[in-house]
Structures are given as structure tokens and as C-alpha cells.
Chain A
Amino acid sequence: MSRALPKLSAKTLLSLPPAAYLFLLFALPSLMMLFASFRYPGEYGGLAPWYYLEEGSLSFDLTLENWLRLFESDIYLGLLIKSLFIALLTTAICALMAYPVALTIARARKGRRELLLLLVILPFWSNFLVRIYAWMIIFSPQGAMTIAINELRALFDLAPISLMFSNVAVITCLVYVHLPFMILPLYANLEKHDPRLLDAAQDLGASRSQRFWLITWPQALPGLFAGAVLVFIPSLGIFAIPDLLGGTDGIMIGNVIKQQFVESRDWPFGSVLSLVLTGFTLLLIGLAAHFGRARGSEGKA
């Protein structure tokens, strides 16, 4: 007992800074946004006062209008669903592309493994926006890639296409930016797999696909899940990529939130949209975690 107590408090102490961090930078701002979502926008931006003192009597100036506006037309929820779809697609493509890469790294020789990992991290050395601008040049109608694709299409009598300002450009860039976030957790997971399990399965007569689905897949799920969260959340809320590469209908929910805070200077409605996005994200992650756990324990059994 006397030994368990200090151990517990040490653990608590260690978890205090991250807890305080989360409270200060996530919980508190979310609460502030929740409050802001019931207020009126200020005449020149910011928020209008939420109470007035008139002739000694206090009157409150709060409203449900901002929340009702969300359901006034289907555009906001429609856009949220579209953004969810794009984020899911990005996550799926990332997972498909990251798996073979992570597996190759995990099975590489020790010295080479470090080099391959370095190559995965290398893009982070240049700024995110610089890399997006590089893609703008690649996608440009005068760029070598577009010209090559269109020459190829011409051989089959297909009309030339434009890659810049399209959903293809947006999704390509979303995948490009987020791919390392899928590779790294997957690698960390696959590296720990015991190759002897696969050998044993093979000795016992399991086929290739049986070995993958019965042994590798259930073990890889936690890594895949971690990667999916790291890819899905940022791609859901992103606004820079659709802003720079998207066409006239390329916007996502993040762009509308940015528009509320910057262009319309409508903080209350921006808060409503942000909270809905945060809520949706937490809900989806919760659901995924729940089913992931159920599948995981099933696999073990």
C-alpha cells in the first residue's frame, strides 16, 4: 500500500502536463466556441455583447439562430458528407499505398531500414505549402505530366483533360501529404510481428490468403487504425489544398469554416460549424475504435 501510493501519484503527476495541455488547447477553446455559438456576431467582426445593462435591469442577448441556420438548407450538411467521403477515400488510398511500403521497410535489413525511414520523413523538411505549390506546377496544363497524359489520350482519340483545379488534384495532394502518417504507425506495428507465426501457419498448411487474413491482418489492425486516425482527421478539416488546387466546386467543410471566420467575420456560425465537425470526428473515431476493439478481441479468440 505504502509503495503503491507514490507510484500512483507519480503517474498522475506525469499525466498532468498533457492533461493540462489538452484542457487549455482543446477543452477550453471548445467550450468558448460552444458559448460563442449562441451569441450574435459583432458589427465589425468578433462577437456582440451577450448581456446588456439597461436602466439597471440585466438582459441577455443569446440566440439559437446560429444552430438553426445549419438546418435551414441542406448545403452545410451536404458539404460535411462530401468532406467525410473525400477524407475516407484519402484514408483508404493511403492505407492501400502505405501497407506495401511499411511491409518492405519492416522486412528490410537493419541498415537499409533506417535509410528507408529517413526517405519517408524527408518531405517534412520542406514546408507543406511549398510542396503544394510544387504540385500546382506538376498539374499545370503546361506541365510535363499533363502534356504526357494528353498525348497518350490523343493516341486513343480521347479529348485532352485538365488536372489542375480538379477533385483529382485535391485527392492526389491529400494522399501525398498524409501518406507518411499512415506509413509510420503501420511500420511500427508490422515490425513487431513475429515471422515465426507465419512460418508455423505455413507448416500447418495455411494458404497465402489464409495466412494474411488470419495472422497478419488482426495483428496489423491497431497500426492501421492509428494511421487511419492520423490521416482521416486532418484531411477532413483541411482547407488549404481545396483552396489552392480545387476547382469551382472543390470546397470542403474546412473552407466554409475559414470563410465564416475570415471573410464573413461571423464567429458564431463559424463556431457552430467547427463544433459540428469536431463532434462528427469524435463520433466516427469512437465508432471505429469500438468496432476495432470488437474485431480485435474476436481475432484473438
Chain B
Amino acid sequence: MKKFVCCFALTLCQFLAPQLAAAEKVLHLFNWNDYIADDTVAGFEAACQCKLVQDYYSSTEEMMAKLLAGGGDYDVVIPTQNAVEALIKQGFLMPLDKSKLSNIGNMASGFLNKAYDPDNIYSLPYAFTTTLLGYNETKLNELGLKADDWALIFDPAVLSKIKGKVTVMDDSEELLAAAMLYLGYSINDTDEKHLKEAQQVIIKAKPYWAAFNSSSYIKELTVGNIWVAHGYSSDMFQARADAMDAGRAFSVNFALPKQGAVLALDNMVIPKKARNPELALQFINFMMEPKNAAELTNVIGTGNPNAAATEYILPEIKSISAIFPDAELQAKLDTLAARTAKQRRFQGRLWTEIKVR
């Protein structure tokens, strides 16, 4: 009997041990989809002797809705700057223990100490993307159209040549911001009169668009169903690579409109209720290593806030002006600020009217 109990206990241990070990060493990352290189994941898992488990979101709103409703105990989240601001004000984040972050010196000073988180108490930059226009290069060349202007998706005279072949983001903030830039306003202009003008621009252009689409424009562009898509630079980078790999008869490219664009600076933060803050700090430090940061740009096509990473970035990617814009265009990139409840409500109503009219 004793033997049996021993045997049983041993077996039980065998079953439980790996699970217990795993329960201790799992990093739960809540990230944008397609926002970390597979090799980087493998590299981190090897370095920390742990598992990296990811959940994904495709919009800030989706991420905020899940976190604020109390969903998911994540160790690291990668929110965009305006969401960082909101999460800090909600008291949702844990201050970062800088003594554990030896790689902090690698970051470019221009991306640190920003208004949304002075002194980077809660957040450190991860990567940035811009919201721009991806396009079918072959088709636009045939039609003699240029993609470096928001007129491509807002001016009915231009749109009449590509009717039904354009998608715009199904995202009120991004689309209103693009329309504001087209009108020459700032993306953070909350003047209701200006926003209404932007709404009118969108309503006039809407009949020429095929759909509001934030989820499948990469595919639609690479298959050739859509010729112009409004979306994130990293997605367009992927569409360009996919079209090349699939050996399409056309090429996909992307460009920053000359009026400027929304810059989304994504940051690494640790929620207060993270189960594994030590591991979270280790991950943040790992991502600030120049080679790992460079991989993000080389594989995903993001902009990079890591100064030391520059030397590891492939030359063919450094030459893409939409990812590495010149100083003049760089100055026209702007980040979205957090909106108050009243402003969100006003924008929400404009958006519903856009969708219905």
C-alpha cells in the first residue's frame, strides 16, 4: 500500500511539475497582431527559459475596451501613446523599475520624456507606425495617379478614376484625422466646426469607396481586389512583401501623404495586476536590445525609436521613405491625443452619421 501511495504521489508530481513550472514562467503579452518577429519570440523564450503567450488586438478601442472591462491579466501591453495616457490616468499601470532596465540608454532621446508620460515613469517606446496609403503601384501608374496626397481618397475628381477600388479604415479617429489633414487642420483640433467639415469631406467621398475596412485590406491589396487602402504602414509593408512573394503581375507600395499623417508610437507598459512583473521587465529590457529592436523593423516594417538599432537595419528598408521619412515630412507627423468623454461622444455621433448617410 505504501508503495502504491509513493508511486501515485510520484506520478502526480510528474504530471503537475511541468504545469507548475509553466505557471511560474509564462509571459502574457497583449499585442497588436503581427507586431513581433517570430525569431524574437524564440530568442526571448530561450533567454528567459519561459513561454511567451500572446493575445492580439487590431485597434486601440478594442484593447481599451477589454482592459477597462477587467479582461485578461497581461504582463505586458503595447498601447499607442494616447492609450498610455488614458491608462495612466485610470491608475491602471505599474511604474517601471528602471534599475532592471539596463538597455534604456539605447533609445533615441526624441522618443523619450513625451507629454503623455513625462520621464517615462510607466512606459517605454516599442516601435512606431504611421497611417498612410497603400496602393497598387501598377494600376496607379496606368491611371497616372499619385499616392502622396490625401486627395487620393478624399477628392471626388481623383476618386472617380478608382471608384469601388478604395477602402478606408473602419476607425473614426484615424479617418477623421486623415480628413482633417486633407483640410489643412491639425489632427488634434477638437473644434466641432472643423470636425463637421471633415465629416462632410468623408460623406462626399464615401460613394466612391468600396468599404470601411480595417481587418482585411492587406489581403484585398495583395489579391488585387482593391487598388488603394488607408491603413497602417506596417500592414502595407506586409502587403508589399506578400504581393512580391506571391509573384503577382502588379506591385504594391505605400506612401506618406505630403499633408502629413498620424504617427502611432506604441509603448511597452506593465499593468498593475500583472502576474509576473519581473518577467515583464526582462521582456522590456530584451526588446530594447539593438538587435531585437532592429528585427522589428526588418521583419515587420515599423519605424524604430531605438537609436542603437539603426546599424542593424537592412539597407533596403532604410531606403523606404514611408518608414524613414525625410526631416520635412517627419515634422508633419503627429500623434493623436486622448479624447474626453464629451469629445468621444461628439465624434461617435459624427461617425454614425457618416456610416448611415
Interface residues of A (CB under 8 A from B): 40-46, 48, 73, 75-76, 78-79, 136, 140-142, 162, 164-165, 243-244, 246-251, 255-256, 259-266, 269
Contact = CB atoms under 8 A, between A and B. Distances in A.
A45 B207 CA distance: 32
Contact of A43 (B61, B172, B210, B340): B340
Given A75-B352, A266-B348, 10 more contacts: A44-B86, A45-B64, A45-B65, A48-B341, A142-B224, A248-B207, A256-B355, A262-B59, A263-B351, A265-B65
- Interface size, B (range): 35 or more
Interface string B77-93: 00000000010011000
A150 to B, nearest CB: 13
A261 B216 contact: no
B200 interface: no
B62 A262 contact: yes
8 contacts: A41-B341, A44-B86, A78-B356, A248-B210, A256-B352, A259-B355, A262-B62, A263-B171
A129 to B, nearest CB: 10
- List 7 A-B pairs, minimum CB-CB distance, nearest first: A264-B348, A165-B211, A263-B61, A44-B86, A45-B68, A41-B341, A75-B356
Contacts of B65: 45, 261-262, 265
Interface in B95-154: none
A46 to B, nearest CB: 6
B132 to A, nearest CB: 20
A229 B268 CA distance: 47
Given A165-B210, A263-B172, A46 B68 contact: yes
Contact of A140 (B171, B223, B357): B223
B208 to A, nearest CB: 9
Nearest to B338: A44
Interface of B: 59, 61-62, 64-65, 68-69, 86, 89-90, 164, 170-172, 206-207, 209-213, 215-216, 223-225, 338, 340-341, 344-345, 347-348, 351-353, 355-357
Main secondary structure of the interface of A (DSSP, over half): loop
A259 B348 CA distance: 8
Nearest to A256: B352
Contacts of A260: 348
Contact of B345 (A162, A249, A264): A264
A131 to B, nearest CB: 15
A269 B349 CA distance: 11
A248 B206 contact: yes
Contact of A249 (B69, B223, B356): B356
B355 A251 contact: yes
A244 B216 contact: yes
A262 B61 contact: yes
